[in-house]
Amino acid sequence: MHEDAQKARLKMKKEENHYKYMQMALELAAKAEGRTSPNPMVGAVIVKNGKVIGQGLHEAVDRPHGEIAAMNSVKNKRLLKGASLYVNLEPCAHYGRTSPCTKEIIGAGIKEVYAAMIDPNPKNNGKGIAELKKAGINVNVGIMGTHALKMNEAFSKFITTKKPFVIMKTATSLDGKIATKTGQSKWISSEESRNYVHRLRNKVDAVIVGINTVLNDNPRLTSRIVNGRNPVKVILDSTLRIPLNARIFNEGDVLIATTPRYNRKKKVALERKGVGVIVVKKKTKKVDLKELMNELALRGITHTMIEGGSEVNASAIKAGIIDKMICFISPKLIGGEGAKSAIGGSGIKCMEDAMSLRDVSIKQLGPDIVMEGYF
372, 365 in Cβ contact below 8 A?
no
Catalytic residue among 3, 15, 16, 67: 67
Query: How far is Cα 65 from Cα 77, in angstroms, rounded to an integer?
Result: 18
Which of helix, strand or coil describes residue 16? Answer: helix
Concerning whether 67 is annotated as a catalytic residue, the answer is yes
Q: Cα 334–338–342 angle (5° rounding)? A: 65
Kindly report the number of other CB atoms within 10 A of residue 195's CB atom: 13
The amino acid occupying position 343 is I
The span from the CA of 203 to the CA of 231, in Å, is 8
Cα separation, 130 vs 125, whole angstroms: 10
Contact assessment for residue 230 and residue 305, using Cβ atoms and an 8 Å cutoff: no
- Reported in sequence order, the residue ranges of 62-217 that DSSP labels E, i.e. its strands, are 84-87, 112-115, 138-141, 165-172, 206-210
Q: What residues are labeled active site?
A: 67
